[in-house]
Amino acid sequence: MKAWRFRRYGSPDVLALEDVPEPKITSNEVLVRVLAASLNPYDWRCLRADPFLVRLSHGFLRPRPGSVLGTDLAGEVEAVGGAVTRFRPGDRVYGGVTLGAFAELASVPEDRLAAKPANLTSTQAAAVPMAAQTALQGLRDEGRIEAGQRILVNGASGGVGTFAVQLAKAFGAEVTGVCSTGNVDLVRSIGADDVIDYTDEDFTDRRQRYDLLIDTAGNRKLAEFRRVLRPDGTFVIVGGGHRGRLLGPAVQVLEGAVASPFVSQRISTVRMEPSAGDLRILAEWMESGAVTPVVDRTYPFVEVPEAIRYLEQGHARGKVVVTARAEAE
């Protein structure tokens, strides 16, 4: 089979499309033929070892042998392990892997997969797993969202942000999104009650105070974020921005952890845990029409490096997806 491998850290130029053995599955794994896979900042950060902290988990001097990028996929079940009970060959599924989705076949633990929402194409479904689960767990678990609250989403037009806006509305909250001029109409179209164009207005200067702030951009100081929260409000750090090559987004996480015991507001960080249960919850919302994946661009499988270059520019509206065919149905 074909897979995009990288043998050293660097730009997308270090990626190579190679013939590799098909993955072997264990008793609790599912072999999935990948019809579509979406990109996340996690992919280019692993590729470039940016921040340097990435090397602790993916190989210090060079990537571990056989490294293949890609965490989100949608596809068709080819085979199942002996202990798998929820899937059989031919089923359409979506979910996430640790890495390895930029390949023709991927092995995925059963507990990281769910049936593909019936009303979505594989292209749309592949856009969901990491971004939507991050948004869901940030709002529900870390943010403890309640109906009627005022929620602010900073970075509302990105992969996590577009899901956070829609999910917050599904929870019954009043949502304000922060984005650039070109994305105002998009953020309003997915349900935001109010949209702030950050090129025209500094949201941290507003008199409005919010119950919950979800930050996906990491572009302001902690004190500025806290200024727009109620005294008992919650600040949820998703991870974004660039705070140096050594720790990157982890700097904001550390700042929040240090400040948390000394302030009245809750400061929390999303550590997304892949969950088949959450994928099923998200599928219900998508099948009801309450949540719809936003796909900016699609690229054919042979253009994974170009897709990563586009994502790295930081201007994607929603998600970027690579497909095995021109249209992955």
In this structure, is the dihedral angle defined by the CA atoms of residues 86, 89, 90 and 93, taken in order, positive or negative?
A: positive
Hey, what CATH topology would domain 131-269 get? Rossmann fold (3.40.50)
* Of 188, 183, 136, the residue nearest 164 (C-alpha): 136
* Strand 174-179 with 150-154, pairing: parallel
Structural domain spans, the chain: 2-128+293-323, 131-269
- What is the CATH number assigned to the segment(s) 2-128+293-323? 3.90.180.10
Please write the tens of the pLDDT for every residue from 161-210: 999 999 999 999 999 999 999 999 999 999 999 999 999 999 999 889 99
Mean pLDDT taken over the chain: 91
Please write the tens of the pLDDT for every residue from 298-316: 999 999 999 999 999 988 9
Please write the tens of the pLDDT for every residue from 29-44: 999 999 999 999 989 8
Please write the tens of the pLDDT for every residue from 89-122: 999 999 987 789 999 999 999 999 999 999 999 9
Query: What confidence score (pLDDT) does residue 326 get?
Result: 44
For residue 244, is pLDDT > 90? Answer: no
DSSP string, 259-277: HGGGSSSEEEE------HH
Alpha helices in the chain (DSSP H): 41-48, 55-58, 122-126, 129-137, 159-170, 184-189, 222-227, 250-259, 276-288, 304-312
Rg (the chain; Cα; Å):
19
